[in-house]
Amino acid sequence: MNFTFIHCADIHLDSPMQGLDAALRKKLPPNLLENLTRNAWNRLVDEAISKQVAFVAVAGDLYDGDWKDYRTGHFLAGSAKRLHQANIPLIILLGNHDAQSKLTKKLSMPPNVTILDHHKPQTILLHDLHTAIHGWSYPHPAISENMVIHYPPAHPEYFNVGLLHTAMDGREGHDPYAPCHLNDLLTLNYDYWGLGHAHRFEQLNQTPPICYSGNLQGRHIRETGTKGYLLLQVDKQTVTEITHCPVHTLRWEQCTIALTEQDESSWLKAIRHQLQQLDPNQPTLVRLTLQGHSPLFRDRDRLYAECEAAAQEIHDQLWIEQVKMSKTTQPQPLGTDSGHTLLNLANQLSQSPQQQQLLRDALLEQMRGPAKKRLEILLQEGALNNAIEDGLAQLEPILNGDNP
């Protein structure tokens, strides 16, 4: 039996783009930031139909949380109907963002939609494909136990797919939910593992393939590069080919430029050269980190304007998200010991989901009533991460001795 199927995860339908200040938003085309996650999902559905895949499997976080209104559900139902008309099953595992306990709104879905059980692992048998799909939806957001040890053994003489929303043994920038080890997955002798939770495509094992698909659309500066789904070719119950298929509309990038020359023209030439390496055929937001030492650091407004002009000169779909400065060639000013300590602590906080969760919990403990509910929504939307990023951007040049 030969067929193809799609593994995707972390769509976060209707979640907003994060970390963009009002000034930058005004410079972007009016409709660029609208419906980006929907656009990515629609592209996936279009390609699933055109490629006649056997099924689409979602490994968690199709939704970003409880629907703000029923428009999110109507959109998903409409796209699922298109898959149904093409005889394509849609199998959904719920993750930490769309755990069963968080979804208070319900809507009838077409018959091709299966939401995997949240009480225990469930196996879906697609007999015409001789395929078994195993998965366990999150009953609540913060799963600290190893879920995979409860998964059933491989279904005999079938192609077995495991779906799991997990941080494995730790993924930078992601909460340590449903922790497990690679051997826990291998022990079950499944033919493919489709993982969710980490937002970057990563293949953890070759035989059998164990993959994070990454998300479909980057939503902030920490979600850079190509975003999409995995298309898997199956031949005689073996995955023979894995293709990462991009569907993002807006791309995020980070560029670090070591500027060793002192004169201004050399700096600007190096910046333009780096920007020219980016793909000009799609809307792109780029954060520049400039390493070096120059009086130009002291005029931030002009430096940003020069970078912005260089970007627009290269392509009208290229915008500067932020310019960060890192002085690396000069002795540090007085007070750097304490400054570096503070900066290191801030960097550790920005990279530690565990510490961020402790901070979230501490903040929520201090709040009551409507204010607490509003804070919960803001934290779910990434307000804490944005505040840390913005704070770091302002702290670093100050602690490194820049006085614009």
Q: What is the pLDDT of residue 215?
A: 98
Q: What is the pLDDT along the chain (404 residues), one digit of tens a residue?
A: 899 999 999 999 999 999 998 999 999 998 999 999 999 999 999 999 999 999 999 999 999 999 999 999 999 999 999 999 999 999 999 999 999 999 999 999 999 999 999 999 999 999 999 999 999 999 999 999 999 999 999 999 999 999 999 999 866 656 789 999 999 999 999 999 999 999 999 999 999 999 999 999 999 999 999 999 999 999 999 999 999 999 999 999 999 988 776 677 888 888 999 999 887 688 999 999 988 876 677 788 888 999 999 999 999 999 999 999 876 544 444 344 444 556 556 655 655 556 666 677 777 777 766 666 666 655 654 556 556 655 555 555 455 444 43
Q: What is the pLDDT of residue 175?
A: 79
Q: What is the pLDDT of residue 28?
A: 94
Domain residue extents for the chain: 2-246, 251-399
Which three-class secondary structure string do you get for the chain?
A: CEEEEEEECCCCECCCCCCCCHHHHHHCCCCCCCCHHHHHHHHHHHHHHHCCCCCEEEECCCECCCCCCCHHHHHHHHHHHHHHHCCCCEEEECCCCCCHHHCCCCCCCCCCEEECCCCCCEEEEEHHHCEEEEECCCCCCCCCCCCHHHCCCCCCCCEEEEEEECCCCCCCCCCCCCCCCHHHHHCCCCCEEEEECCCCCEEEECCCCEEECCCCCCCCCCCCCCCEEEEEEEECCEEEEEEEEECCCCEEEEEEEEECCCCHHHHHHHHHHHHHCCCCCCCEEEEEEEEECCHHHHCHHHHHHHHHHHHHHHCCCEEEEEEEEECCCCCCCCCHHHHHHHHHHHHHHHHCHHHHHHHHHHHHHCCCHHHHHHHHHHHHCCHHHHHHHHHHHHHHHHHCCCCC
Q: What is the pLDDT of residue 330?
A: 45
| Full-model pTM | 0.81
Q: What is the pLDDT of residue 397?
A: 47
Q: What is the pLDDT of residue 334?
A: 38
Q: What is the pLDDT of residue 372?
A: 64
Q: What is the pLDDT of residue 197?
A: 96
Second-level CATH architecture of 2-246: 4-Layer Sandwich (3.60)
